[in-house]
Chain A
Amino acid sequence: EVQLVESGGGLVQPGGSLRLSCAASGFNFSKFWMHWVRQAPGKSLVWVSRIYSDGSTSATAGSAKGRFTISRDNTKNVLYLEMNSLRAEDTAVYYCATGGCGGDCLESWGQGTLVTVAS
């Protein structure tokens, strides 16, 4: 069974930094693209970033580009999201998800971790 467990969320001041982790188990982590998606309270889902299975290539949404960095450690089965220069509008639940469907969809999702940016 696919299990994705996010951690690292919390309260951070504007301009601060945070690193999220997603521990994966129950599947061959090193074979899958991985994603981060966020959801502000009461709002829709917003894709944040994606990384290829071997970590060689990543893509990041415009709103996060230059501030957020996705990475992975295939030896530890962990996905990361380094977030810098955080803003109030980055407040959201952050989900990690596996890529699937030949790259078109996000197949399995974690339970999410809440990031609150406030002073």
Chain B
Amino acid sequence: SDELTQPPSVSVSPGQTASITCSRDKLGDKFASWYQQKPGQSPVLVIYQDNKRPSGIPERFSGSNSGNTATLTISGTQAMDEADYYCQAWDSSAYVFGTGTKVTVL
């Protein structure tokens, strides 16, 4: 399966909005999920089926997926949101992860 491309890093000021993109041809035809991974910890699912939040995930996390790009948006970013974020899609019986984006809260 083709790779999912993400920007290596995104910087955001506390309280501002961070947007992380995930790109691949016709990604909008698939469901996209997003995972947060803090240093030394396991990944945590934060968005699934493009825009749904699992129980316990704050409302400031939202998602969209259309065309060739899925986007994770963190509104009112907090210091605790500093982490690596990975997108993921299911395609032809294989699960593909994105290249990862490090979000830094300055």
Residues on A facing B (Cβ under 8 Å): 35, 37, 44-47, 50, 59, 61, 95, 100-112
CA distance A106 to B99 in the complex (A): 17
Q: Say whether A106 contacts B95, CB under 8 Å.
A: yes
Q: In the complex, what residue of chain B is closest to A98 when comparing beta carbons?
A: B45
- A61 proximity list for chain B (CB < 8 A): 94
- Contact assessment for B33 and A101 in the assembled complex, using a CB-CB cutoff below 8 Å: yes
**Most chain B CB inside 10 Å of its own CB: which residue of A44, A102, A103:** A44
Give the shortest distance, in Å, between A65 (CB) and chain B (any CB).
11
Please state if B42 and A110 are interface contacts (CB–CB under 8 Å).
yes
Q: A61-B94, A109-B42, A111-B42 are in contact. Are A45 and B49 (CB under 8 A)?
A: no
* A95-B43 in contact given A104-B48, A105-B33, A106-B88 (Cβ < 8 Å): yes
Bound: A17/B35 CA distance, A: 30
A101 / chain B contacts, CB cutoff of 8 Å: 31, 33, 48-49, 52
Measured in the bound complex, the distance between the Cα atoms of B42 and A35 in whole Å is 14
Asked if residues B44 and A100 are in contact (CB atoms below 8 Å), the reply is no
User: How near does chain B come to A93, taking the closest CB pair, in angstroms?
Assistant: 9
Q: Nearest chain-B residue to A35 (Cβ)?
A: B95
Residue contact A59 to B48, C-beta cutoff 8 Å = no
In the bound complex, how far is the Cα of B7 from the Cα of A15, in angstroms?
36
Check A44/B100 contact, CB under 8 A, given A35-B95, A104-B33, A105-B48. Answer: yes
Interface status of B61 (Cβ within 8 A of chain A)? no
Contact call B97/A45, Cβ cutoff below 8 A: yes
Could you say which of B31, B44, B49, B54 contacts A109, with CB atoms under 8 Å apart? B44
CB neighbours (8 Å) of A35 from chain B are: 95
- Whether A104 lies near B97 (C-beta < 8 A) is no
11 additional A-B residue pairs with CB within 8 Å, beyond A47-B97, A109-B43: A44-B97, A45-B97, A50-B95, A101-B31, A104-B30, A104-B33, A106-B43, A107-B45, A107-B54, A108-B45, A109-B42
